[in-house]
Amino acid sequence: MLTNEHDIHRQRLALLVIITEVPILGIGIKALLEGLPRDGIILGVLAVALLIVPLLSAKQKHEMASYVFILFLTAATLLLHWTSGGIKDNAILVLPGILIYAALLGVDRIYIPLLVLMACNLLLMGYLSDQGMEFNPRSDGLSSAVNVTLVLIIIGITVRILTRDKINLLARLNMQVKEVHLANEKMEYQALHDPLTQLANRKLAEQYFEGIQQRLSRKVIDTAGVIYVDFDEFKDINDTLGHAYGDQFLTEKAQTLINCTRKNDRVCRIGGDEFLIMVEGLDAMQMALFAQKLLDQAMTEVTVKGHKLNCTCSIGIVLLPKDANNYEDAVKRADIAMYRSKKQGKNRYQFYSDELEAVVQRRYRLQSQMMSAVLDSQFRIVLQPIVELTTRRIIGAEALARWEHPELGLIGPDEFIPLAESNGVIDELCAFVMYEALDAVKNLRTVIPDFYISVNIAPTQLKSLDFFNKCQQIIGQSPVPTSALKLEITESDIIERDRVFDENILHIHQNQIGLLLDDFGTGYSNLAHLQKMNFESIKVDRQFITACHLNDETRTLLRSIVAMARELDIDLIAEGIEIEAELNEILNLGIRKGQGYLFARPVEVAELLDHVRESPAL
Ligand code: C2E
Ligand code: CA
Ligand code: CA
């Protein structure tokens, strides 16, 4: 842009010089012809001198070129005044022309001196004229008129060219300013909006929140709410159909959320499928109604590229000013509440409460202390016997982990296993359980020679490359044969199996370790899977056993499970048998093995050992 401007300047100066040379030479030659040699010489010298201007300009000395141009013109004009008609000379017309050039060429430093010089010069000539000095005014006939016309035309043309340049330059500048302005606006928009849905992003959400805080503190509003919306099955859509579908789905759902809100409510996207909605002036009751409306609308089916997609959402609600007084807390707490909605079965809403926060605090505490607790021997295993149902003879036991926390007391696996999976302590924990289980089975086998022990394996473990290596290390240290150990995995593990998983399963089989399918009936087992995985036994989940004697439907299901197991030649173990009636029903259906409180609760290893020493049955 700057070079451009210089180029224009250089070209214009050259043009100016050429254009000015025309009248200078014209008038000069005319003066010579009219017998005015002095004027002719002055103009001739000026014409030659002005040639320096394009030279300077070509050497990039644009400023100096402009000054030289103006100064030469001024000097020649003043000289012509003094040598010719003084104040009445035609050359007077050139003076305003020079001033206009000077202004347009930006010859600022000498502009005022130039003006003063011209004024003083005129006044001096006038004064000297009054004092009787003789000037030599030219005729005001045609010759003079020609000179004046020439000067006028030249000045007119050049001024027009120069002002055009300035106007174009201004227009260009103006456009650039607009472009910069637009680019700035765009950048600002992008910095504050999510590119996919065009909704406000985290940063803008924070600004909205601050606005709400101010209105609350100025008592413009009494209540407000931050609503955290998270779609329940979005990950499945993304994983199974791909990101293009996921994106389209989110765009549709974002619109659905907007459609549910009022003009002043704010809908923001703060993560993959996580949205924040901020509303003002609603009390808890109205907020609940609004959340229900969101749930209803959000679950409506959308069609993306021909696929019909159904997805519910879970919602967490923070009430302001009660639940939080800054953005971070508000979002964190709304997230906590949302998480609770998910835990409680999804497709529901939950208000934040301090108790919820306590649950989260406890979770964090357990998570951070878990590793040192393993090293500190705060964990132990208990054994729940597995019995032959007809004889009640103990054939094995399931090892179940327990955490004896020094301050919080006994903590169950339902609480710490998911945490151990998420923070990676599960490998250490499983190694510990396996080690303890093998130690226990060694002792129990002294009483019941074919006694086995089953250990639960968490879903993530079978996807770990060195899972089996670690198992082997522990098994290698134990004198008992690998057949004394069995591993329990759940149906959900099988659904998400991958290459590493298959390799681990292969190693398990190659080492004669029995593989049990745990919690059968709670997932979506596919018969082909079951056959391929070569399970030794299937553990029928407690939900089919509880009150099975009272429920026809459950009985029908159990009957088909028994038939299937027989077909596949797999053993069944009934879990969670609590009462005699259930046991009788199960025996009627032909299931031969089981475990449950009816026989024994999970007990300490020493206790089980004592028991079997006395009696091998329960
Ligand atoms: P699971 O594998 O289904 O284990 C059986 C659970 O049912 C045990 O709960 C047991 O105490 C309980 N149970 C047994 N019989 C009855 C009964 O008659 N009635 C009722 N109501 N419950 C019965 P627990 O010990 O709390 O374990 C819960 C879950 O935690 C286990 O379910 C298992 O999935 C997991 N878990 C326990 N220990 C470990 C472990 O060392 N590693 C892994 N990965 N998971 C473990
Ligand atoms: Ca189990
Ligand atoms: Ca189970």
Q: What is the DSSP string of 208-264?
A: HHHHHHHHHHTTS-S-EEEEEEEESSHHHHHHHH-HHHHHHHHHHHHHHHHHHS-TT
Give 511 or 459, the one with higher predicted confidence. 511
CA of 326 relative to ligand 3 center, distance in Å: 44
Give 410 or 93, the one with higher predicted confidence. 410
CA distances from 508 to 122, 459, 488, 503, 511 (A): 113, 15, 11, 9, 5
Provide the pLDDT for residue 139: 65
Between CA 428 and CA 415 the distance in angstroms is: 17
Mean pLDDT of 37-61: 91
User: Is 567's pLDDT higher than 50?
Assistant: yes
CA of 488 relative to ligand 3 center, distance in Å: 8
User: Is 3's pLDDT higher than 70?
Assistant: no
Q: Give the tokens for residue 135.
A: 């000037």
pTM of the predicted model as reported, rounded to 2 decimal places: 0.64
Length of the chain equals: 618
Question: How confident is residue 1, by pLDDT bands cut at 50, 70 and 90?
Answer: very low
Closest protein CA for atom 20 of ligand 1: 576
**Ligand 2 ion: Cβ-proximal residues, 5 Å cutoff:** 456, 488, 518
CA of 400 relative to ligand 1 center, distance in Å: 6
The answer to whether 251 and 234 are in contact (CB under 8 A) is no
CA of 167 relative to ligand 2 center, distance in Å: 85
Angle at CA of residue 176, ends 174 and 181, nearest 5°: 95
CA of 398 relative to ligand 3 center, distance in Å: 9
CA of 342 relative to ligand 2 center, distance in Å: 24
CA distances from 10 to 156, 572, 606 (A): 20, 97, 102
- Which one of 417, 518, 599 would you pick to mutate in the ligand 1 pocket, going by the greatest count of ligand atoms within 8 A of its CB? 417
- Ligand 1: lining residues by beta carbon, under 6 Å: 384, 400-401, 412-414, 417, 430, 433, 456-458, 518-519, 542, 576-578, 595-597, 602
CA of 591 relative to ligand 1 center, distance in Å: 20
Closest protein CA for atom 36 of ligand 1: 413
User: Is 420's pLDDT higher than 50?
Assistant: yes
Provide the pLDDT for residue 81: 86
The answer to whether 317 and 334 are in contact (CB under 8 A) is yes
CA atoms within 13 A on the CB side of 511: 22
CA atoms within 13 A on the CB side of 277: 27
Identify the weakest region by mean pLDDT among 215-219, 228-232, 360-364: 360-364
User: Is 360's pLDDT higher than 50?
Assistant: yes
Q: Give the tokens for residue 420.
A: 């151990």
State which ligand 1 atom lies nearest to the alpha carbon of 433.
Answer: 41
Question: Which H/E stretch holds residue 49?
Answer: helix 37-49
State which ligand 1 atom lies nearest to the alpha carbon of 400.
Answer: 38
Distance of CA 577 to the CA centre of its chain: 49
Ligand nearest to the CA of 460: 1
Mean pLDDT of the chain: 92
Ligand nearest to the CA of 594: 1
CA of 345 relative to ligand 2 center, distance in Å: 22
Provide the pLDDT for residue 4: 64
Provide the pLDDT for residue 2: 46
The answer to whether 596 and 576 are in contact (CB under 8 A) is yes
The three-state secondary structure class of 316 is strand
Provide the pLDDT for residue 495: 75
Closest protein CA for atom 4 of ligand 1: 400
Provide the pLDDT for residue 140: 65
CA atoms within 13 A on the CB side of 252: 21
Ligand nearest to the CA of 419: 1
Mean pLDDT of 189-209: 97
CA of 461 relative to ligand 2 center, distance in Å: 15
Provide the pLDDT for residue 160: 86
Question: How confident is residue 521, by pLDDT bands cut at 50, 70 and 90?
Answer: confident
Sequence-ordered list of residues with C-beta below 8 angstroms from that of 517, at least 6 positions apart, any chain = 488, 489, 490, 491, 494, 525, 530, 533, 535, 537, 538, 539
What confidence tens digit (pLDDT) does each residue in 451-491 have? Answer: 999 999 998 899 888 999 999 999 999 999 999 999 999 88
State which ligand 1 atom lies nearest to the alpha carbon of 413.
Answer: 30
Residue 601: DSSP 8-state: -
Q: Give the tokens for residue 468.
A: 């089996």
Closest protein CA for atom 23 of ligand 1: 576
What confidence tens digit (pLDDT) does each residue in 293-325 have? Answer: 999 999 999 999 898 999 999 999 999 999 999
Provide the pLDDT for residue 481: 95
User: Is 165's pLDDT higher than 70?
Assistant: yes
Provide the pLDDT for residue 138: 64
Question: How confident is residue 525, by pLDDT bands cut at 50, 70 and 90?
Answer: low
Provide the pLDDT for residue 133: 86
User: Is 526's pLDDT higher than 80?
Assistant: no
Closest protein CA for atom 17 of ligand 1: 576
Closest CA to 347 of 478, 261, 233, 193: 233
Closest protein CA for atom 45 of ligand 1: 456
The answer to whether 431 and 458 are in contact (CB under 8 A) is no
**pLDDT above 90 covers what percent of the chain?**
75
The answer to whether 342 and 321 are in contact (CB under 8 A) is no
The long-range contacts involving 550-556, CB below 8 angstroms and separated by at least 24 positions, are: 550/581, 555/585, 555/589
CA of 584 relative to ligand 3 center, distance in Å: 20
User: Is 373's pLDDT higher than 90?
Assistant: yes
Mean pLDDT of 404-410: 97
The answer to whether 538 and 519 are in contact (CB under 8 A) is no
Mean pLDDT of 184-200: 96
Mean pLDDT of 483-512: 90
Ligand nearest to the CA of 400: 1
User: Is 250's pLDDT higher than 60?
Assistant: yes
Closest protein CA for atom 34 of ligand 1: 456
Provide the pLDDT for residue 5: 67
Terminal C-alpha separation, the chain: 95
- Phi and psi of 247, rounded to 5°? -60, -45
CA of 418 relative to ligand 2 center, distance in Å: 14
Question: Which H/E stretch holds residue 512?
Answer: none
Please state at what angle helix 202-217 crosses helix 142-192, rounded to 10 degrees: 80
Provide the pLDDT for residue 384: 98
User: Is 361's pLDDT higher than 60?
Assistant: yes
What beta strand segments (E) does 252-392 contain?
A: 266-269, 274-280, 302-304, 307-309, 313-320, 349-351, 379-388
Residue 593: DSSP 8-state: E
Mean pLDDT of 14-43: 89
The long-range contacts involving 215-223, CB below 8 angstroms and separated by at least 24 positions, are: 215/280, 216/320, 216/321, 221/280, 221/281, 222/281, 223/280, 223/281, 223/282, 223/283, 223/319, 223/320, 223/321
Angle at CA of residue 516, ends 513 and 518, nearest 5°: 150
The answer to whether 352 and 334 are in contact (CB under 8 A) is yes
Provide the pLDDT for residue 7: 75
- Which one of 430, 453, 456 would you pick to mutate in the ligand 1 pocket, going by the greatest count of ligand atoms within 8 A of its CB? 456
- Which one of 400, 417, 455 would you pick to mutate in the ligand 1 pocket, going by the greatest count of ligand atoms within 8 A of its CB? 400
Closest protein CA for atom 42 of ligand 1: 456
CA atoms within 13 A on the CB side of 15: 17
**Mind giving me the DSSP string for 518-550?**
EEETSS---HHHHHHHT-SEEEE-HHHHTTTTT
Mean pLDDT of 512-538: 86
**pLDDT above 70 covers what percent of the chain?**
98
